[in-house]
Amino acid sequence: AFNPTGLGREVWQDLLQDGRLDSPTGKSRPTEKGEVTAAAVCASCKVPAHGHKTLELALAWDMPCVHFGSKEKLHFRRYTRFFGSEGNAAPPLSHYALTHYKEWERKIEAWQNPILENSQLPSWYKSALFNELYFMTDGGTIWMEVPPDCCAEDLQGLAGAGLSHLLPVLREYGRFAYLEGQEYRMYNTYDVHFYASFALIMLWPKLQISLQYDIAVAVVNEDAQPRQYLMCGQTTQVKMKNVVPHDIGDPGDEPWQRVNAYLMHDTADWKDLNLKFVLQVYRDYYLTHDSLYLRDMWPVCQAVMESELKFDTDNDGLIENGGFADQTYDAWVVHGASAYCGGLWLAAVCMMCKMAELLGDTEVRQKYLDILNKGKEAFERMLWNGKYYNYDSSGSDMSSSIMSDQCAGQWFLGACGLDQGEFEVFPKSHVLSALKTIFEKNVLSFAGGTMGAVNGMRPDGVPDTSSVQSNEVWIGVVYSLAATMIQEGMVEEGFRTAEGCYRTVWERLGMAFQTPEAYREKKVYRSLAYMRPLSIWSMQLALERR
């Protein structure tokens, strides 16, 4: 050990004497607060003529205990299950790495090579697909053990007794959380995780299931503490029962225990959160065939959809937005029926029908089938303009904007095989027309087709500047749009759309391994190192399903 702020003389002088480093015997002293320290390792071997030798070095951090900002609870990281929580596991961690790394490398190559060696896939896509996964570990990520003496009531409160497999799942797989972004510090921000969740469900499905159980617990519980919200000034309770939370908490407070760290809007009135829970439940079941999970989540899905029904104010089977930015585009105002939330709603209603059918719940199936039939008619009548779905039904100057994310409901339906036959929610010809319009206007008519798809484009080919978000490109949304195009057979257009984002972020702007949430055509980017771009894994799912 040596002082890195000095000249390093103690290292070099020691090496000069005999080519070795001689550590003092016994333990080194702990550093004082604010003091920095450094370490040097020296290893040697004899190399025969014309021969070679390999020296292996391992670097391990052992930080088993976690306190969040409130310091109310002591948490232990997942690896303490195997290496203990005493803080003395660096040598065994290093030993484990040195004895297993060759096996890890073989497994990584077996996972990646079928994609890397596929000559039909462009090189930039292979880079983006694997490298965007940086955020899974670099996103302020925590993976915690649930204490062995923990009981179901400790995890779920009094309201969550119906989640029969909550405790076994969390005991076996722990609790997982990652930040919305390194600048937007809320854990498991759910409207954004909706996009990013494809990386989890495809690669670490049990972590997605665990995360969903945590959201389900938050749904059925409430926090009656009053809070004033910044955008509207109104004061309401922090968390209402039977609605999906915006996030699982602030790392500066006590996540899981106190949810909804977001202060801009009262998200109980957001239109997308409840729907995104239902869509993920069925998507997760479709990809994992985990029927125990489906049965546990079914009552929660029914509860959040009942809460959502109040937003259908005219009983036409279609929800209405509330005249404020009441969804993931939290600075882009929506009035009345909308392509984004209306499409998510119809997709969720369709999945409720499918889940009810699987579980033999004929009464609920019929209820949602009736809503779906009414809602489909209303959606087409109020929003379809012959080429694409209008942004909203308000009739305002901007209601005819072309939203790049207007097919989000179709994206999830297609990922789950519910996009044809009896389950066709949106007419195929309309979906293709909308996607072609988006490609022509939002992609090719924006920045010469080199920067992905702008969120909102006017029919005359000028970006929508009605909000600070309508003329941004959201990289995670572009990847999901590309996946939707691939699902619908527009493979070349899908790759061209996504490539613009990759080249802009990873090459032109130099933001590799810190992909932002958004950028504009010139000068502006926002929120570096963000969760949503993990949606690129939905492109891979679409390709695999083809």
Rounded-to-10 torsion of CA 263, 268, 270, 274 = 130
SS3 234: coil
Rounded-to-10 torsion of CA 78, 83, 84, 88 = -120
Residues 6+ apart with CB under 8 A from 221: 156, 157, 159, 160, 239, 241
Alpha carbon 28 to chain centroid, angstroms = 42
Q: By the 8 A CB rule, do 94 and 56 touch? A: no
The predicted structure's pLDDT at residue 149: 83
The predicted structure's pLDDT at residue 154: 79
Residue 104: both structure tokens together: 């890890």
Residue 508: both structure tokens together: 């032109």
SS3 14: helix
Phi, psi torsion values for 66, nearest 5 degrees: -130, 130
SS3 172: helix
HSE, side-chain direction, 13 A CA sphere, residue 284: 29
Residue position matching structure tokens 């209402």: 240
Q: By the 8 A CB rule, do 98 and 58 touch? A: yes
Residue 131 per-residue DSSP state: H
Residues in the chain, overall count: 546
Residue 378: both structure tokens together: 């209303």
Residue position matching structure tokens 């209303």: 378
List, as own/partner pairs, every contact residues 485-489 make where C-beta atoms lie below 8 angstroms and the sequence separation is at least 24, other chains included. Answer: 485/435, 485/439, 486/539, 486/542, 486/543, 486/546, 487/410, 487/411, 487/414, 487/415, 487/419, 487/542, 487/545, 487/546, 488/414, 488/428, 488/431, 488/432, 488/435
Give dist(CA 326, CA 237) in Å, integer.
17
CB-based burial label for 393 (10 Å; 0-12, 13-18, 19+):
buried
Residue 75: name the closest of 85, 83, 65, 84 by CA: 65
Residue 506: name the closest of 188, 54, 235, 128 by CA: 128
Q: By the 8 A CB rule, do 480 and 435 touch? A: no
The predicted structure's pLDDT at residue 224: 82
Alpha carbon 101 to chain centroid, angstroms = 29
Query: Consecutive sets of 10 residues in the chain, 546 residues long: mean pLDDT of each?
Result: 90 92 85 92 93 95 96 96 96 97 98 98 98 98 91 72 88 97 97 98 98 96 83 82 96 95 93 98 98 97 98 98 96 98 98 98 98 98 98 97 98 95 94 98 98 98 97 98 98 98 97 98 96 98 95
DSSP codes joined into one string, 276-290:
HHHHHHHHHHHHH--
Residue 531: name the closest of 257, 191, 262, 135 by CA: 135
* Helix orientation angle between 475-487 and 408-415, rounded to the nearest 10 degrees: 50
Category of 388 on φ-ψ map: left (φ > 0), alpha (ψ -120 to 50) or beta: beta
